[in-house]
């Protein structure tokens, strides 16, 4: 029986189980140093082999890179892209069991101008990255984001891909690659080649900041920066002769991106935004070989094998949790992952099963693709769809009372338009009685008018442009492409009676 006054002075004994004593699940001999998941413990050597094998298996299973092909690695300096760079180095080394047979290059987009960083801070970041790039021996290109203002309109045009031709002559490509001595046979001094802008004018930085400041929300600004970065990467790849772009998006990042895309109305483009390969630009194919790695695995690998990385701030650095949809979604997924470790893998595996009902962007008519993200337009739907209902509701909300002559809807469209040709105008701010699309008005006074660019955008990009004060702040190559597509559309309507279906 328990005594009320009985005192227990002896300490309770606890049985401790040492985690260090667990053996590696692969070799069954060495003590494990890494625990990726419950029951998945690896020693140092087995973890390195596991990590490298997963990278090569992802490339080998998809078979989209051919021998001797030039591949541009988009490195931001973060843990994931730095780990991707190390995997390519290991795959091209002389000691590799099955060497990679493509010719790599590195590109870094300096986004310091969009973050109001000083030139000294930007130079310090670039200097650290240069040391890492030089150590690899690969040619590298450092491009400031300000160069997006000088990008030609051809970046928004697709070129035919030569993948089918290369696939048919795979054996010939291997023989030619071996005979020409791949880049791994060259010394690092011979391989190094730098292409960068040594100086960025302050006026260009101010123009870029004005362009981004036209966005009213951080969500829209982040989307614009992402699109401009993508356009600049494609332009750099085409100018330097690369046919593939390799990104370091990991499993955790793609899971967050999936929910962000759904929140931003990019449901029709999910398959292209999260898949292994993306061929929306035709000749330049984007690849995501790190998509099977979680952020935890990458962090363990970089720590154990001393993979160098450089922290580069972005728009969401030191921002509040509810500053944007991107920040809120990332915070939601990461916090949920702490209590439910299978959250990221569940979201990621769901994204692998998604397919789009739209036709491929690479084979679509240029006028049927979005002007910004270059995906197939998802706005060509029936009149009874939810999208058309949203447009009708928006028009009703923007329309003022009937007695007010300054109707807001036509003027609202004018604010969201880019330069083209307009019907005549009798005076300042006063339009003629004929509709703007009516070609029967032959007034002697002609003024440039604005063409609605919202019809050239997908639903998500329309929401992004809606948060801008004026589309005139967009880069000139986008406005020029909008004019070209509008003229082609009008020309096609004029000669439609003479065309065969």
pLDDT at residue 342 greater than cutoff 60: yes
Predicted confidence band of residue 2 (pLDDT cuts 50, 70, 90):
low
Of 213 and 384, the structure prediction assigns the larger pLDDT to 213
Cα-atom radius of gyration of the chain, to the nearest Å?
27
Of 310 and 318, the structure prediction assigns the larger pLDDT to 310
Tokens of 391: 């447009």
Predicted confidence band of residue 5 (pLDDT cuts 50, 70, 90):
low
Tell the residue number behind the tokens 């895309």, with chain if given: 261
Distance CA 216, CA 222 (A): 11
Q: Residue 374: left if φ>0, alpha if ψ -120 to 50, beta else—which one?
A: left
What confidence score (pLDDT) does residue 172 get?
52
What confidence score (pLDDT) does residue 13 get?
53
Predicted confidence band of residue 294 (pLDDT cuts 50, 70, 90):
very high
Q: 450 vs 107, 213, 421, CA distance in Å?
A: 37, 22, 7
Tokens of 358: 């739209």
Of the listed ranges 109-113, 134-138, 381-385, the least confidently predicted one is: 381-385
What confidence score (pLDDT) does residue 381 get?
66
Average pLDDT over residues 373-386: 76
pLDDT at residue 336 greater than cutoff 90: yes
What confidence score (pLDDT) does residue 434 get?
46
- DSSP 8-state assignment for residue 377: P
What confidence score (pLDDT) does residue 17 get?
46
Distance CA 151, CA 142 (A): 15
What confidence score (pLDDT) does residue 123 get?
92
Average pLDDT over residues 31-55: 89
pLDDT at residue 280 greater than cutoff 50: yes
Distance CA 329, CA 332 (A): 5
Tokens of 132: 């890492």
Average pLDDT over residues 3-21: 52
Tokens of 482: 């909008």
Predicted confidence band of residue 191 (pLDDT cuts 50, 70, 90):
very low
User: Phi and psi for 310 in degrees, rounded to 5?
Assistant: -125, 130
Please give the distance of CA 50 from its chain centroid, rounded to a whole number.
Answer: 27
Residue-wise pLDDT for 157-172, tens only, equals 877 665 444 544 444 5
Compute the C-alpha angle 195/198/201, nearest 5°.
130
Of the listed ranges 175-179, 353-357, 415-419, the least confidently predicted one is: 415-419
Task: Map 171-231 to HEC letters.
Answer: HHHHHHHHHCCCHHHCCHHHHCCEEECCCCCHHHHHHHHHHHHCECCHHHHHHHHHHHHHH
Distance CA 361, CA 280 (A): 5
What confidence score (pLDDT) does residue 10 get?
53
pLDDT at residue 379 greater than cutoff 70: yes
Q: Could you count the other beta carbons within 10 Å of the beta carbon of residue 363?
A: 12
What confidence score (pLDDT) does residue 496 get?
86
What confidence score (pLDDT) does residue 382 get?
64
pLDDT at residue 449 greater than cutoff 60: no
Predicted confidence band of residue 443 (pLDDT cuts 50, 70, 90):
very low
Predicted confidence band of residue 99 (pLDDT cuts 50, 70, 90):
confident
Please give the distance of CA 284 from its chain centroid, rounded to a whole number.
Answer: 13
* Beta-ladder partners of 427: 430
What confidence score (pLDDT) does residue 95 get?
75
pLDDT at residue 303 greater than cutoff 70: yes
Predicted confidence band of residue 232 (pLDDT cuts 50, 70, 90):
very high
Contacts (Cβ under 8 Å, ≥6 apart) of 101 = 66, 67, 68, 174, 177, 182
**Cβ-contact 319, 276 below 8 angstroms:** no
Residues in the chain: 501
pLDDT at residue 49 greater than cutoff 50: yes
pLDDT at residue 187 greater than cutoff 60: no
Q: 274 vs 36, 116, 177, 472, 493, CA distance in Å?
A: 23, 30, 31, 31, 36
């Amino acid at each position: 029986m328990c005594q009320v006054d009985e005192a227990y002075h002896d300490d309770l004994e606890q049985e401790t189980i040492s985690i260090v004593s667990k053996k590696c699940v692969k070799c069954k001999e060495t003590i494990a140093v890494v625990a990726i998941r419950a029951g998945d413990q690896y020693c140092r050597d087995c973890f390195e082999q596991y990590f490298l094998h997963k990278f090569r298996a992802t490339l080998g299973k998809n078979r989209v890179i051919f021998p001797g092909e030039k591949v541009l690695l988009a490195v931001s300096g973060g843990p994931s892209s730095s780990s991707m760079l190390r995997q390519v180095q290991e795959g091209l080394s002389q000691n590799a069991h099955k060497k990679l047979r493509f010719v790599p290059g590195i590109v870094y987009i300096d986004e310091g101008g969009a973050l109001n960083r000083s030139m000294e801070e930007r130079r310090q970041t670039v200097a650290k990255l240069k040391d890492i790039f030089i150590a690899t021996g690969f040619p590298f290109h450092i491009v400031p984001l300000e160069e997006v203002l000088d990008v030609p309109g051809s970046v928004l045009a697709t070129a035919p891909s030569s993948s089918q031709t290369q696939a048919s002559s795979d054996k010939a490509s291997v023989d030619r690659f071996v005979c020409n001595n791949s880049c791994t046979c060259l010394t690092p001094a011979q391989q190094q080649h730098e292409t960068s802008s040594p100086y960025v004018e302050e006026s260009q930085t101010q123009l870029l900041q004005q362009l981004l400041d036209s966005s009213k929300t951080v969500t829209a600004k982040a989307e614009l920066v992402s699109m401009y970065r993508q356009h600049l990467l494609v332009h750099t790849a085409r100018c330097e002769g690369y046919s593939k772009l390799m990104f370091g998006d990991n499993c955790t990042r793609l899971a967050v991106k999936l929910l962000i895309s759904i929140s931003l109305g990019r449901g029709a483009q999910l398959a292209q935004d999260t898949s292994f390969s993306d061929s929306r630009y035709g000749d330049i194919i984007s690849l995501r070989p790190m998509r099977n790695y979680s952020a935890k695995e990458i962090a363990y690998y970089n720590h154990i094998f001393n993979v160098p990385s450089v922290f580069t701030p972005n728009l969401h650095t030191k921002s509040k949790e509810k500053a944007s949809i991107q920040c809120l979604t990332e915070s939601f997924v990461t916090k949920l992952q702490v209590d439910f470790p299978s959250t990221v893998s569940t979201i990621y595996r769901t994204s692998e099963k998604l397919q789009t009902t739209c036709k491929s962007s690479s084979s679509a008519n240029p006028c049927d693709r979005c002007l910004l993200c270059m995906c197939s337009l998802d706005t060509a739907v029936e009149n009874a769809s939810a999208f058309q209902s949203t447009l009708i509701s928006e028009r009703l909300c923007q329309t003022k009372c009937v007695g007010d002559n300054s109707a807001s809807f036509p003027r609202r469209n004018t604010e969201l338009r880019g330069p083209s040709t307009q019907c005549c105008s009798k005076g300042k701010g006063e339009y003629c009685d004929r509709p703007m699309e009516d070609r029967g008005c032959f007034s002697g006074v002609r003024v440039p008018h604005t063409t609605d660019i919202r019809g050239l955008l997908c639903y998500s990009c329309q929401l992004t442009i809606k948060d801008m004060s004026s589309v005139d702040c967009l880069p000139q190559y986008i406005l020029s492409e909008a004019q070209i597509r509008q003229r082609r559309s009008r020309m096609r309507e004029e000669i439609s009676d003479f065309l065969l279906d």
